[in-house]
Amino acid sequence: MTKSLAAHPERLLPADPGTRVIARDLLAAVQELPIISPHGHVPAEMIADDTAFEDPTALLIAPDHYVTRLLHAAGIPLSEVGAGGGPVDSRAAWRRFAGAWPLFDGTASGYWLRSEFEHVFGLPSSLVDSLPHGGADAVYDALAAKLSEPGFRPRHLFKEFGIEVLATTDDPLDSLDAHRRLAEDPSFAGRVLPTFRPDAYLTPSNPDWKLRVERLMAEASAGVEGFEGYLLALENRRRYFIEHGAVSADHGVRTPRTLQLDKAEAARLFSAALKGESTPAEQDAFEAHMLYQMARMSVEDGLVMTIHPGSYRNHHDPTFKRFGPDTGHDIPFAIDYTESIRPVLQDFGTAKDFHLVLFTLDETVFSRELAPLAGFYPSVFVGAPWWFLDAPDAMLRFRSAVTETAGFSRTSGFIDDTRAFCSIPARHDTSRRIESAFLARLVTEHRITEDRAHELILDIVDAAPRRVFKL
Amino acid sequence: MTKSLAAHPERLLPADPGTRVIARDLLAAVQELPIISPHGHVPAEMIADDTAFEDPTALLIAPDHYVTRLLHAAGIPLSEVGAGGGPVDSRAAWRRFAGAWPLFDGTASGYWLRSEFEHVFGLPSSLVDSLPHGGADAVYDALAAKLSEPGFRPRHLFKEFGIEVLATTDDPLDSLDAHRRLAEDPSFAGRVLPTFRPDAYLTPSNPDWKLRVERLMAEASAGVEGFEGYLLALENRRRYFIEHGAVSADHGVRTPRTLQLDKAEAARLFSAALKGESTPAEQDAFEAHMLYQMARMSVEDGLVMTIHPGSYRNHHDPTFKRFGPDTGHDIPFAIDYTESIRPVLQDFGTAKDFHLVLFTLDETVFSRELAPLAGFYPSVFVGAPWWFLDAPDAMLRFRSAVTETAGFSRTSGFIDDTRAFCSIPARHDTSRRIESAFLARLVTEHRITEDRAHELILDIVDAAPRRVFKL
Amino acid sequence: MTKSLAAHPERLLPADPGTRVIARDLLAAVQELPIISPHGHVPAEMIADDTAFEDPTALLIAPDHYVTRLLHAAGIPLSEVGAGGGPVDSRAAWRRFAGAWPLFDGTASGYWLRSEFEHVFGLPSSLVDSLPHGGADAVYDALAAKLSEPGFRPRHLFKEFGIEVLATTDDPLDSLDAHRRLAEDPSFAGRVLPTFRPDAYLTPSNPDWKLRVERLMAEASAGVEGFEGYLLALENRRRYFIEHGAVSADHGVRTPRTLQLDKAEAARLFSAALKGESTPAEQDAFEAHMLYQMARMSVEDGLVMTIHPGSYRNHHDPTFKRFGPDTGHDIPFAIDYTESIRPVLQDFGTAKDFHLVLFTLDETVFSRELAPLAGFYPSVFVGAPWWFLDAPDAMLRFRSAVTETAGFSRTSGFIDDTRAFCSIPARHDTSRRIESAFLARLVTEHRITEDRAHELILDIVDAAPRRVFKL
């Protein structure tokens, strides 16, 4: 057995030797396919500007809340690892991380990091293993040396990673200048697409909602006032995004509640919310109605609608106040889709070319709600396992929970959803391995033929994301 | 490896070769046992009249909402595949189905259909595989030819399938004439038993409840009026069912909520509901009380009580309005049993010979609630995985979730719950394979002996349904 | 294959032969390590007094609600097996149990009992197998003979089992005399530690709450009156426990709801509750606040805080009235941690040396809530699978659900939580086998190295409980 985990060709494949052979063959058929990443959080500027990465900590630790949260849990203050963008001694932060490296064993983050170290940066496995045993500085220096090479600039890595499409996530008022520059640059062959993410403009309970709405309308309502102008401004900005290549609109809502309201009532709630005169229940109703409106707009303008609900954002106030959002304490809770999403499906569940991709952090809805919904409504697709569920065992549970009811055609294809640019290859590789593992088991159990499994792995890895995200 | 999935003797058995050998032996011990089907939806008339099946679409596609829902999700209008009983061009519908055949890969429905094609109708595997590749008409013609043979009439198939007992699901006012004819027919050796299914008579929120209650009382209350007469009429019809062979009463409720009320309050709610003067909360309370009353009657008359809760029926209004119920858009949601069923268990949980079989579409209650309930109350049995959960992986999850707390003796035995007569052998075969697979794993892990596993597989497949359903 | 399940060295290890070899090696490394039991229900008096066990029924059946509940489900009255401490014919009870022995196949209880019979009492496997086949008396006599030997007195078994630490669960007003006697006894090398369990003093809705509070304050409030005195009394009793070796305080609450209140409001609710003038909502608020206060005290005095929520205690009133609590009808239900525990985590989630171990009977919170919480808050540890989930498959589901998000370092280590003294070795052995099985799979899938798995198994079995419970 080779000592290197990341290098092992059979990593993540099933234990049973007969099944593993089948899985290896399936994997081989898709291992070199281009990466399609229809949802994620890499900044377009980073690629447009092609600026060199700063240092190992700034690249791999500080901005990755998957990593900093486990360091925090181990008692390392977020300030010492640069979370939230504060000033930090990079090498000292790296040493903290290196000492905690064994805590990542068995986690998805640990698996990705090791893959990055070995595959992206070419570190020897033994050097990686030395991280908690005095090797912190050696690894830091090796990574820093690589980062100073031109081959480690974003655009070169983009190509080397085999990325064909990369979607970003953007504020509705973003100029999309970076996207435009990339699209117009003949030297850049990839596609970097914006994604319309309007949450902050749809949620009256957020303190800055009024300010954002005013800015939105000033910029895009073409002089139309009130609720009509608000809707028009959103429609206009969606059109702007589409003109700049967007294929989807993403909704990071607390719950998937949707609500149809007549125009007068919606306008009344809008006006009351702006005046600060609405009750919490009215604010929630308005937000639920705006999710319905977003579906209506997607039906009309063709943007794929993705919903990412069920996370209690910024669970720890003191951390939020000091370090801001996305610092590792968004905690999932139980959600319902069956009742919540029904108003949208009543009106748009069979609408032509409407694609509604439903994600969850609550695994219980996979077999109970999402597979049955996607198994009936042509508009509904089950979103791939996301965030905490974007991990080998969780992915297998997802396929097991969904497939027997909805088959393979009703799922979204893999979503990396990452801010960590260098983790993209490892994440897609993980997904391809696990899909191969799942299909191989079905072959061994004589539930599908091996020939059919080969068709399916190609469909899952390549055709599905193109089809579902209209790429 | 044989090319035919359905013909493979090791289909659905575990990947590990050692475990698979044990599973094969277990399966061999039960593979030829008669089929006991204590709950399902095959019409008794079909067997009594022994009418030839119309055509492949009318038999296998149009009435099977497990199938039509996935076609619908793929964008095929329900009207084009005959869902809801509307007029349809059978061959054209079949071609639509054939084109969509690959979408069923990995689903339970796909597995059953392939088994039917190959085992019931004797089609070569290669012909089945040709379905999406120009073979639609050839398969259609082959099936149609078979259906015109006398060997493919319902009664002959009933015998050929090895069905010993088949329970139907019937309206409380059904004459049960078909059941009577079958029971009195010396040429028919099987048992076709009615099941009392009173939901529509117990739910004041249903628009036709009042009309149904009036018809029920006119027919069966023996002149007694009011709530007393209503209860009496239900008791009388239950007795009528028992006289015609019924062993169970089935309750397809929205939630498993039960409620004890004193007689005066129940009578008041009954009267108010009939007058259209009750609130939604009062209607719900009455319905919960009637589920309690059904338990009380089961204690008294011995009918096994089965509860099938947790499905949001007819989720898509436009489809319901055009095609009626059971057209593929019943969507599960989260349920609670622990509190909901408590009033019934307070009073009847230890009642002599009371059998209460609790089903769920929400897998989370298996380990959390149903196994602990069935592991204490002598009346409670955990219902087999049902509907969306009646599939290989889901069955394994069920056994894993339930067994460590409740053992094997507290589960119901397999329930096919099907309208699709020709799928019955495939469904029972699937269950027997998965039970063998589960037991074989316990043997390999030295948790039970192989001898004991052989006793258990016989008990699970044959003795349990007889014992739980008092057959 | 050996006929004895309990003797088989590979019991509970994975089916795949390659994985099994790795698991065996891992197991071998920890099989002989001392037992650390930081939470359980063995009475300290039993060990202090070292009284001989009465008879097989009194030792193994009557007090074990895991066992009596399945007998009850099989129709055996609790009175006939001595549940609730009532008088019983021991041999007749044993015969009832013996007849029902096959019902325990596949259950955790059955596995433990068989292990006890063979490993603790040295019965031949064939004798155990004869239990339901006329062997009841022979087994009873063999066990009874053993129990009369000095080697089967509690203190000798304590040593033979290799127990290093055993925590009991105790009333806040317990004198802890037995613990003191053991600590002072030079002939006893083990550590038997009390655990502070204050539920009954914190729950105004309990009928005897007022009486208990009065006794508590009379004994420990040092004359301070009102809410201040109540808090002081609790603090004083915690200090008393700490002085007698306690390392943790355990909270068997209905839900994990916590609530911060200002002192005046808390005092008002306290006073109203004592006067019997508080509403149910006020009582709940007070109870939630007291859970918050317990966290505050743990931060101050260092007792590890463990929370065991989500069980509907004494579900069946008639059984409770006749047999008392802990007689097999505590039934879990769905819980939420994310919102419920937030007030505590706001204020104490990063408090120095605060250890908060969160248990659940609702498996859905493992991946959804507990792993994300423990993966951020330094104070939070995910409690091991408990009660109904303390079983091989459930333990594997737990590791699979938690590890990819939180790794291994954020889990509590094994907790046997048992009243059944003789089952302790079997329970810890089960855990060690399953942990080895899980790690071996990760090795086979090249997710961790075999060397690292050897470090992890030592950490999980030995270091984790010492670290988390401050031993």
Q: Note whether B379 and B430 are within 8 A (CB).
A: no
Per-residue model confidence (pLDDT) at position C401: 98
Q: Which two tokens stand for residue A60?
A: 């791999």
Per-residue model confidence (pLDDT) at position A42: 97
- With pLDDT > 90 as the criterion, what percentage of chain B qualifies? 98
Give which of A373, A262, A261, A355 is closest to A302, Cα–Cα: A355
Give which of A35, A84, A78, A25 is closest to A465, Cα–Cα: A35
Distance from CA of C88 to the nearest CA of A (A): 45
Q: B408 and C106 in contact by Cβ < 8 A?
A: yes
Per-residue model confidence (pLDDT) at position A396: 98
CA pair distance B361, A364, nearest whole angstrom: 11
CA-CA-CA-CA torsion sign (C263, C265, C270, C271): positive
Q: Note whether C294 and C251 are within 8 A (CB).
A: yes
Q: Which of B12, B73, B362 sits opposite A376 (nearest CB)?
A: B73
Which chain C residues have a beta carbon less than 8 Å from that of A397?
Answer: 400
Q: A391 and C368 in contact by Cβ < 8 A?
A: no
Per-residue model confidence (pLDDT) at position A6: 76
Q: Which two tokens stand for residue B331?
A: 């969507």
CA-CA-CA-CA torsion sign (B327, B333, B337, B341): negative
Q: Which of B372, B445, B448 sits opposite C15 (nearest CB)?
A: B445
CA pair distance C281, C98, nearest whole angstrom: 47
pLDDT of B2 above 60? no
Q: C107 and B406 in contact by Cβ < 8 A?
A: yes
Q: C15 and B448 in contact by Cβ < 8 A?
A: no
Written as tens digits, the pLDDT of chain A (471 aa) is 345 677 799 999 999 999 999 999 999 999 999 999 999 999 999 999 999 999 999 999 999 999 999 999 999 999 999 999 889 999 999 999 999 999 999 999 999 999 999 999 999 999 999 999 999 999 999 999 999 999 999 999 999 999 999 999 999 999 999 999 999 999 999 999 999 999 999 999 999 999 999 999 999 999 999 999 999 999 999 999 999 999 999 999 999 999 999 999 999 999 999 999 999 999 999 999 999 999 999 999 999 999 999 999 999 999 999 999 999 999 999 999 999 999 999 999 999 999 999 999 999 999 999 999 999 999 999 999 999 999 999 999 999 999 999 999 999 999 999 999 999 999 999 999 999 999 999 999 999 999 999 999 999 999 999 999 999
Cα dihedral value B8, B13, B17, B23, nearest 10:
-110
CA-CA-CA-CA torsion sign (A443, A444, A446, A447): negative
Per-residue model confidence (pLDDT) at position C3: 54
Distance from CA of A189 to the nearest CA of C (A): 35
List CB contacts of C202: < 8 A, sequence separation 6 or more. C287, C290, C291, C294
Q: B15 and A441 in contact by Cβ < 8 A?
A: yes
List CB contacts of A282: < 8 A, sequence separation 6 or more. A269, A272, A273
Q: B316 and A405 in contact by Cβ < 8 A?
A: no
CA pair distance A471, A37, nearest whole angstrom: 10
CB pairs under 8 A between A and C: 140
Distance from CA of C403 to the nearest CA of A (A): 6
**Exposed / middle / buried, residue B267 (Cβ in 10 Å: 0-12, 13-18, 19+):** middle
Q: Which of A336, A376, A447 sits opposite B12 (nearest CB)?
A: A447
List CB contacts of C38: < 8 A, sequence separation 6 or more. C165, C167, C247, C248, C304, C413, C415, C465, C468, C469, C471
Q: For residue range C211-250, list pLDDT tens digits in order.
A: 999 999 999 999 999 999 999 999 999 999 999 999 999 9
Give which of A16, A31, A27 is closest to A441, Cα–Cα: A16
Q: Residue C466 CB: number of other CB atoms within 10 A?
A: 15
Q: B105 and A456 in contact by Cβ < 8 A?
A: yes
pLDDT of C4 above 80? no
Q: C329 and B380 in contact by Cβ < 8 A?
A: no
User: C interface mutation test: which of B347, B367, B435, B450 has the most C CBs within 10 A?
Assistant: B367
ipTM of predicted complex: 0.97
Q: For residue range B92-138, list pLDDT tens digits in order.
A: 999 999 999 999 999 999 999 999 999 999 999 999 999 999 999 99
Q: Which residue of B has its CA nearest to C437?
A: B445
User: B interface mutation test: which of C76, C105, C321, C400 has the most B CBs within 10 A?
Assistant: C105
Per-residue model confidence (pLDDT) at position B61: 96
Q: Which of A73, A108, A394 sits opposite C377 (nearest CB)?
A: A73
Q: Which amino acid is at A455?
A: E
**Exposed / middle / buried, residue A187 (Cβ in 10 Å: 0-12, 13-18, 19+):** exposed
Give which of C447, C403, C367, C399 is closest to A111, Cα–Cα: C447
Which chain A residues have a beta carbon less than 8 Å from that of C398?
Answer: none
Calculate mean pLDDT across residues C176-186.
98
Q: Note whether B221 and B214 are within 8 A (CB).
A: no
Distance from CA of A54 to the nearest CA of B (A): 47
Distance from CA of B61 to the nearest CA of C (A): 36
Distance from CA of A412 to the nearest CA of B (A): 14
Q: Which residue of A has its CA nearest to B388?
A: A405
Specify the DSSP element, H or E, that contains B242.
helix B226-243
Per-residue model confidence (pLDDT) at position C438: 98
Q: For residue range B156-200, list pLDDT tens digits in order.
A: 999 999 999 999 999 999 999 999 999 999 999 999 999 999 999
Q: For residue range C301-332, list pLDDT tens digits in order.
A: 999 999 999 999 999 999 999 999 999 999 99
Q: Residue A466 CB: number of other CB atoms within 10 A?
A: 15
B136-to-B62, B95, C89, C238 alpha-carbon distances in Å: 16, 6, 72, 77
Q: Note whether B132 and B95 are within 8 A (CB).
A: no
pLDDT of B223 above 80? yes
Contacting subunits of B (3+ beta carbon pairs below 8 A)? A, C
Q: Which of A334, A346, A368 sits opposite B317 (nearest CB)?
A: A346
Q: B378 and C11 in contact by Cβ < 8 A?
A: no
pLDDT of C41 above 60? yes
Q: Note whether A411 and A381 are within 8 A (CB).
A: yes
Per-residue model confidence (pLDDT) at position C2: 43
Q: C442 and A106 in contact by Cβ < 8 A?
A: yes
User: C interface mutation test: which of A5, A321, A331, A360 has the most C CBs within 10 A?
Assistant: A331
Q: C331 and B376 in contact by Cβ < 8 A?
A: yes
Domains of chain C: 54-151 (1.10.2020.10), 155-468 (3.20.20.140)
Per-residue model confidence (pLDDT) at position C6: 76
Pairing assessment for the beta strands A331-332 and A311-312 based on DSSP bridges: antiparallel
Per-residue model confidence (pLDDT) at position A178: 98
Q: B367 and C329 in contact by Cβ < 8 A?
A: no
CA pair distance B217, B221, nearest whole angstrom: 5
- Residue B7: band (very low, low, confident or very high) from pLDDT cuts 50, 70, 90: confident
pLDDT of C108 above 50? yes
Give which of A101, A99, A86, A93 is closest to A57, Cα–Cα: A93
- HEC states along chain C? CCCCCCCCCCCCCCCCHHHHHHHHHHHHHHCCCCEEECCCCCCHHHHHHCCCCCCHHHHHHCCCHHHHHHHHHCCCCHHHHCHHHCCCCHHHHHHHHHHHHHHHCCCHHHHHHHHHHHHHCCCCHHHHHCHHHHHHHHHHHHHHHHHCCHHHCHHHHHHHCCEEEEECCECCCCCCHHHHHHHHCCCCCCEEECCECCHHHCCCCCCCHHHHHHHHHHHHCCCCCHHHHHHHHHHHHHHHHHHCCCCEEEECCCCCCCCCCCHHHHHHHHHHHHCCCCCHHHHHHHHHHHHHHHHHHHHHHCCEEEECCCEECCCCHHHHHHHCCCCCCCEECCCCCCCCCHHHHHHHCCCCCCCEEECCCCCHHHHHHHHHHHCCCCCEEECCCCHHHCCHHHHHHHHHHHHHHHCCCCECCCCCCCCCHHHHHHHHHHHHHHHHHHHHHHHHCCCCCHHHHHHHHHHHHHHHHHHHCCC
CA pair distance C3, A393, nearest whole angstrom: 34
Give which of A296, A298, A328, A297 is closest to A312, Cα–Cα: A328
Q: Which of C106, C317, C319 sits opposite B447 (nearest CB)?
A: C106
Q: A69 and C409 in contact by Cβ < 8 A?
A: no
Mean pLDDT computed over every residue of chain C:
97
- Residue C1: band (very low, low, confident or very high) from pLDDT cuts 50, 70, 90: very low
Name the one residue in this structure whose structure tokens are 């991946």: C367
Distance from CA of B347 to the nearest CA of C (A): 9
**β partners of residue B37:** B166
- Residue C7: band (very low, low, confident or very high) from pLDDT cuts 50, 70, 90: confident
Which chain A residues have a beta carbon less than 8 Å from that of C447?
Answer: 5, 11-12, 106, 111, 392
Q: Model pTM greater than 0.90?
A: yes
Which chain A residues have a beta carbon less than 8 Å from that of C367?
Answer: 363, 388-389, 394
Per-residue model confidence (pLDDT) at position B1: 37
B382-to-B395, B406, B415, B461 alpha-carbon distances in Å: 13, 9, 12, 15
Q: Which two tokens stand for residue A467?
A: 């089809």
User: C interface mutation test: which of B355, B398, B405, B459 has the most C CBs within 10 A?
Assistant: B405
Q: C103 and B407 in contact by Cβ < 8 A?
A: yes
Sheet with A356-358, edge to edge strand ranges: A248-251, A304-307, A356-358, A380-382
Q: B346 and C110 in contact by Cβ < 8 A?
A: no
Distance from CA of B371 to the nearest CA of C (A): 9
Q: Note whether B379 and B350 are within 8 A (CB).
A: yes
CA pair distance B448, B442, nearest whole angstrom: 6
CA pair distance A305, A243, nearest whole angstrom: 17
Q: Which of C3, C102, C331 sits opposite B373 (nearest CB)?
A: C331
Q: Which of C5, C334, C364 sits opposite B446 (nearest CB)?
A: C5
Q: Which of B5, B318, B394 sits opposite A367 (nearest CB)?
A: B394
Per-residue exposure over A7-18, b if at least 16 CB sit within 10 Å of its own CB, e if not: ebebbbbbbbee
Q: Which residue of C has its CA nearest to A434?
A: C445
Distance from CA of B402 to the nearest CA of C (A): 9
Q: Which two tokens stand for residue B31?
A: 């593979």
Cα dihedral value A200, A205, A206, A208, nearest 10:
100
Give which of C405, C362, C416, C417 is closest to C380, Cα–Cα: C405
Q: For residue range B341-390, list pLDDT tens digits in order.
A: 999 999 999 999 999 999 999 999 999 999 999 999 999 999 999 999 99
